[in-house]
Structure 1
Amino acid sequence: MVNYRYLGNSGFKVTEITYGNWITHGSQVENDAALATVHRALELGITSFDTADVYANTVAEQVLGEALKGQRRESLEIFTKVYWPVGPGGANDSGLSRKHIMDGIHGSLRRLGTDYVDLYQAHRYDYETPLEETMQAFADIVRQGKALYIGVSEWTAEQLRAGHALAEDLGIQLVSNQPQYSALWRVIEGKVIPTSEELGISQIVWSPMAQGVLSGKYLPGQPAPVGSRATDEKSGAGFIKRFMTDDVLSAVQKLHPVAEQAGLTLPQLAIAWVLQNPNVSAALVGASRPEQLDDTVKASGITLDADTMAAIDAALGSVAETDPALTEESSPKRRP
């Protein structure tokens, strides 16, 4: 079964392996397969589920809501997000204005088939909306019982500090940040994590396997396997391109003996690596087939010894991205 961790300085617990449906539900896999995968996640002990209104332009939320129908609501932790454009893309169909946030939460609750979400997250930072307006809207949603906790995604250390201060003034809890983080993408380690530790904010990390590159299935000097994420524009090919270089792929191949020595598969090693960071509360994993989860959940509860961590650093250290400034690039300076 999957272990639980506290989210931020709250009393709220989430499964340290959380199911995310970014590029699967509503786009990459058929609904029957999506439902079967969610049900397998539940069987394996995953009770935390992450989605967003923008995923498959709202369809992913609908599919997740259908898959969770009939489950005891109190035994689930459901997260969703607001910021990116949904619907026809009108003037107020994106961002973190009060209007878009209020429209967003009502639409998400309707599609998910629930009265509240456990965690409502700002999917990016909105430079066009005063932060006070954004945090006041989140505070009102919490007081209305439509969300229990507030989180953000890909905010810089400075943005986290400002948001946390306003949340405290408003009497709500900003408990989490959702950044990209993996053994190949370590940009949050320099500033975001130290600031988060100081403020009592946890990380819910996405792409712990670097879009599948850390599975070892992509080989240097060879074309990507047919049907893989790297060949499918609908399933994140644009995100994986930065890792699809021969030097990165060659470095990843050096992890095979490290994983073997630890008694783990490469996906398990990658997920276990992010979970060694005490500021990480959960690693988001997706799956297009139920059996994929059978492997990845085994990373829960694994402790990697110092020699294993050092061996991973030795293999990937020269190709891992560590520039803290890259976090700021995640949020557009103008609404999309």
Structure 2
Amino acid sequence: MREFGYRRALDVPGAVALLDGDPDARFLGGGTNLVDLMKTGVERPTRLVDIRELPLDRVEPAEDGGLRIGATVTNSDLAAHPEVRRRYPALAQAVLAGASGQLRNMATVGGNLLQRTRCGYFGDVSSPCNKRDPGSGCPAVEGEHRNHAILGASAHCVATHPSDMGVALTAFDARVTYETATGPGEIPLADFYLPVEETPHRETALPPGALITGVTLPPGATATAANSCYRKVRERASYAFAIGSVAAALDVRDGTVRDVRLAFGAVASRPWRAHAAERALTGAPADAEHFAAAADAELAAARPLPHNGYKVTLMRNLVVACLSELAEEAAR
């Protein structure tokens, strides 16, 4: 590990000032991803700015009736919060599906959204990788890609985003708040992650030096979100990253879908909002046939590689299973 400087921030403006002007400095929250990447040489920061003492560790109601989640709230605290479990059960389930208990005790909300891909080529500094070393190539396209993207990828990168939490937040129209040296800002999570295209090394729309201060869930999602679930498929039952996941929320009235929210995980470079499926389902009968047709509408855009075509069937089945479960719950 390369030698680095360390500073502890005591307030948000101070944290931003400590990072300002140094593109190789990094904010340190729980460190569950960053420190691992430092050990392997993928990340080589000149300085770490520790933000764990900042007053960003609360989950509280927003003025508009939504929910505000501070950036340094730990994953464990988020999943256990009674308002999260009551109003956004899929979010609590997604957090609990990610990592181990020990990691959830350390990992933070802001860090979870910024975690890097688990693609093996990205993590191996002896391999080319456009995300790590722009212009060097993407060996996963012709190499090991069983767990890689089927949606929104490009010839320059087929890696997937590993966050479970981000999938549920995407389904609920979350917004990311941040602070810069020139003041605060906000980005819808739908726009937070940049398309891969020819620049996979540019992952988010955060301004340089910005500090994520929190995530806000709007009140408009609350009615549907209360009947929601998160389902994750992995290659082993213990702690593992997803090979496919779905966050789903459903509002059914008299057997007809009034509102539906769907987001997919582990199939793209970012949490994937399934807009085509949502449009196909809104106003349709809440039954397995229409759930499957909606999944097919979304997955028509899939471009699987030779060894990950199974994900198309997997995601279709996950959508039907999740929505069928929610429809049954709504009918009780």
TM-score tier by shorter-chain length is under 0.3
The one of the two structures with greater contact order (alpha-carbon pairs below 8 A, sep at least 6) is 1
Compute the TM-score of the two structures, normalised by the length of structure 1: 0.25
Which has the larger helix fraction? 1
Compute the TM-score of the two structures, normalised by the length of structure 2: 0.25
